[in-house]
Every structure is written in C-alpha cells, then in structure tokens.
Amino acid sequence: MNVSDEVRVSPRLSCRAAEIEAPENERHHDDLDGGAHLLFTKVKKTALVRSPLTALTAATYCFSFVTAQERWTPLHSAASAGHAPVVASLLAFGAAPNAANSGGQRAAHYAASKGRVEVLRKLRDAGADCDARDATGATPCHRAASTGMTDIIEFLITETRADIEGRNSLGQTPLIVACEADRREAVLRLARLGADADAVDDERNGAATLAPELMPALRSIKQGDVE
C-alpha cells in the first residue's frame, strides 16, 4: 500500500502533506479481520500546509485506525490523544460530537479516561452528551473513575451534570468502579461530590468489600467532614 501525499482527515477535509512516512517500527497492515485497514503515518513538523486544520502543522504523528466494524472517527483519535485544537477544528468543520464506535464509545469516553478536560469542554460546548453510555453501560464518568481522573470526575459532575449514581451493565456506579480499580483518590472525590458510598453492584460488591480500608474516610465524608 502506498501512502500518497494527501491525508484524508474526514470525508469533508483533506490536508496536503509535504512529506509523510511510516515509522520504522510500525508498518501498514491490510490483512486484518473483515478487511480492516490499519494505517500508521508519521508527519514531520510543519509538513501539512494550506490546511484548515492549522493546529495539525505541529503534530509529529497522525494515527488512524480505519475499519467499518469499529467505526473509529478522526474525532475519536484527536480526543483520545488530547489534541484540543484539532478537536475544535474537526467540530467546526462538521464532525459529529456524539458519533459512537462499534463499542458505543463516544469521543467523550476517550477524553474522560485519558484526562483530557479541555477536549471534554469543547465536546460539551459542541453538544456532546457527556453522560452517554457505551455498549457496557459505562459513561464517561465511569471511564474517568476507572483511570483515576479526579479532575475529569469533578468537571463531569459539576459542569455537565453527569449522573454520579449512573450504573453500568454490572450495576456499578462510578464509585464502585473506582474501588474495583483501586483508584483511591477517585473514590474519595466521588464521595465528596455526593456519591453513595454504600451502593452495591449486581453481585453485592461495593466500597465495603472492594476498598474496606477507605470506609473510615468515607464514613467521615458522609458525616460532613469533607476535608
């Protein structure tokens, strides 16, 4: 497969590149299941010219996993990587803020799990549902809880009114997910924001069984000591 000097960013956008090359340790693959097409490209600094996505001119890598089954969009990639200017440009040129991949994940899910608060702000301002559920019932708040992104949890609960008691397909709230993932600061932040420390999932697991060492602090928070 030859890489041309034109990179398709979306059906509506393209960028002319002066030089594109595959990283030495990564190559093109055309034989993935279902005819999927994995494309790694390396774009040298200032290689992209006369592009509406001017923020891309400083990029060193452009990663795209294109497959009809996965439905991964450029917005997913930019959000996951934390490229807020690219996210803003894609949204300005018509990218759907609520586009979901085959697992039901939106760009907001990836921004949340990676701690990309500025990306989440841009997605929210463009109309993204920051409380959307993926195929497992997980919301961006569940994803942030699982990776311990306390600032994201705060943003989602206080600025997007995400459901702090939302449950995934296992009956887990974000606090239970944080307990299971041993994300102690996330557990405490969720409790301070009002999450129910006594909640249990479908298997009757909760903070008391998954993080018993945190119960004194959680009880203290519940009694009003939020420090």
Q: For the segment 189-210, what is each residue's pLDDT rounded down to a tens digit? A: 999 999 999 999 999 999 999 9
d(CA 84, CA 55): 9
- Of 30-34, 85-89, 95-99, 162-166, least confident by mean pLDDT is 30-34
Determine contact, residues 183/174, Cβ cutoff 8 Å.
Answer: no
pLDDT at 224: 82
Q: What is the CA radius of gyration of the chain?
A: 20
pLDDT at 226: 55
Determine contact, residues 206/176, Cβ cutoff 8 Å.
Answer: yes
Please give the angle made by the CA atoms of 214, 216 and 222, to the nearest 5 degrees.
100
Angle between helices 74-81 and 84-92 (to 10 degrees): 150
Place of tokens 């807020």: 84
Q: What are phi and psi of 174, to 5 degrees?
A: -55, -35
Q: Coil, helix or strand for 81?
A: helix
CA distances for 139 relative to 52, 69, 183, angstroms: 32, 21, 17
DSSP code, position 100: -
Determine contact, residues 135/91, Cβ cutoff 8 Å.
Answer: no
Q: Read off the pTM.
A: 0.72
pLDDT, the chain, mean:
77
Strands (E), the chain: 6-10, 13-17, 20-21, 37-43, 48-49, 61-66
Domains of the chain: 7-70 (no CATH), 73-227 (1.25.40.20)
d(CA 210, CA 213): 9
Q: Tens digit of pLDDT for each residue in 111-170? A: 999 999 999 999 999 999 999 999 999 999 999 999 999 999 999 999 999 999 999 999
Q: Tens digit of pLDDT for each residue in 92-114? A: 999 999 999 999 999 999 999 99
